[in-house]
């Protein structure tokens, strides 16, 4: 087999949460470029037709459903849509997430719970729904963050805690499912990439990140998307339970 063929996703069906903007859009388009049909979920359903158009422009099929990952029934419905439309589900990209930058002495219980509810618990409900229906095995990639591995210069206790928890969840699900269900589970930990969250960061914070990063720049979206394709494809078939930082050297020892 040509090694490049192992990166192809022809005949696969992928589900992407948080597919209405930013990295979710880029991930959905990249999956379609690699050959997968893509089912899209997000709370902001009005933006999903635009993402669907990008999938279809790559010659692939797609579908979408308004999805709140904090509601297990919504997660089940999104996976059911993949089965209904395409007869199978092979890949889950747990991308839905929210972030805050609130000093720890000011953060309210509701603010903290909301971040954990979406970023950690929402990923768990989606993983459960996927694992129940992935009859032929599959791959889950949880979109974590380097802020789950080290501080980033802003007060982000809720966000950092949720992403550190997601890294732990990744390891545990990999231990449970890799052999028993044939489902590999990994996490992708982005550094600083253009997104709605980084758009809200002060310029001085972005400059500090640049100085602390070995590559001396923020990332390009395609650099993250290409790593995702590796993780969900057969090219990484012996990789499970790991977190892959894509951060220009921000968290290196």
| pLDDT tens figures, 93-137 | 999 999 888 889 999 999 999 999 999 999 999 999 999 999 999
**CATH of span 3-245:** 3.40.50.720
- Please give the structure tokens belonging to residue 99: 């972030």
Element (H, E) at 62: strand 62-66
What are the residue ranges of helices labelled H in 19-117? 22-33, 48-57, 72-86, 109-116
Give the Cβ contact number of residue 187 at 10 Å. Answer: 27
- Three-class secondary structure of residue 63 per DSSP: strand
The answer to whether 100 touches 144, Cβ cutoff 8 Å, is: no
Question: In this model, does residue 151 exceed pLDDT 90?
Answer: no
Sequence-distant (≥ 6) Cβ neighbours of residue 183 within 8 angstroms: 130, 131, 134, 137, 138, 139, 140, 173, 177
- Please give the structure tokens belonging to residue 91: 């890949």
Q: How far apart are alpha carbons 94 and 160 in whole angstroms?
A: 16
Active site residue 159: yes
Q: Which residue has the higher pLDDT, 99 or 174?
A: 174
Which residue is catalytic, options 125, 130, 159, 192?
Answer: 159
Average pLDDT value for the chain = 93
| Whole-prediction pTM | 0.94
Alpha carbon dihedral 147, 151, 152, 155, in 10-degree steps, equals 100
């Amino acid at each position: 087999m040509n090694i490049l063929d192992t990166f192809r996703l022809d005949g696969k069906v992928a589900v992407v949460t948080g597919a209405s903007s930013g990295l979710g859009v880029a991930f959905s388009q990249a999956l379609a470029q690699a050959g997968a049909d893509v089912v899209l979920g997000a709370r902001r359903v009005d933006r999903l037709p635009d993402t669907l158009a990008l999938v279809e422009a790559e010659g692939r099929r797609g579908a979408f459903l308004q999805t709140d990952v904090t509601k297990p029934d919504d997660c089940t419905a999104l996976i059911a849509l993949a089965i209904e439309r395409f007869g199978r589900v092979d890949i889950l990209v747990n991308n839905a997430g929210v972030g805050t930058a609130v000093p720890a002495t000011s953060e309210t219980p509701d603010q903290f719970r909301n971040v954990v509810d979406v970023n950690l618990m929402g990923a768990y409900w989606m993983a459960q729904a996927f694992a129940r229906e992935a009859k032929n095995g599959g791959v889950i990639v949880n979109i974590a963050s380097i802020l789950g591995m080290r501080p980033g210069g802003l007060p982000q206790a809720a966000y950092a805690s949720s992403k550190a928890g997601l890294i732990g969840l990744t390891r545990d699900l990999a231990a449970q499912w890799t052999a028993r269900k044939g489902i590999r589970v990994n996490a992708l930990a982005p550094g600083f990439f253009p997104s709605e969250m980084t758009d809200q960061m002060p310029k001085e914070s972005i400059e500090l990140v640049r100085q602390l990063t070995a590559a001396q720049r923020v990332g390009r979206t395609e650099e993250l998307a290409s790593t995702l394709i590796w993780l969900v494809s057969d090219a990484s078939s012996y990789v499970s339970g790991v977190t892959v930082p894509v951060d220009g050297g921000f968290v290196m020892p």
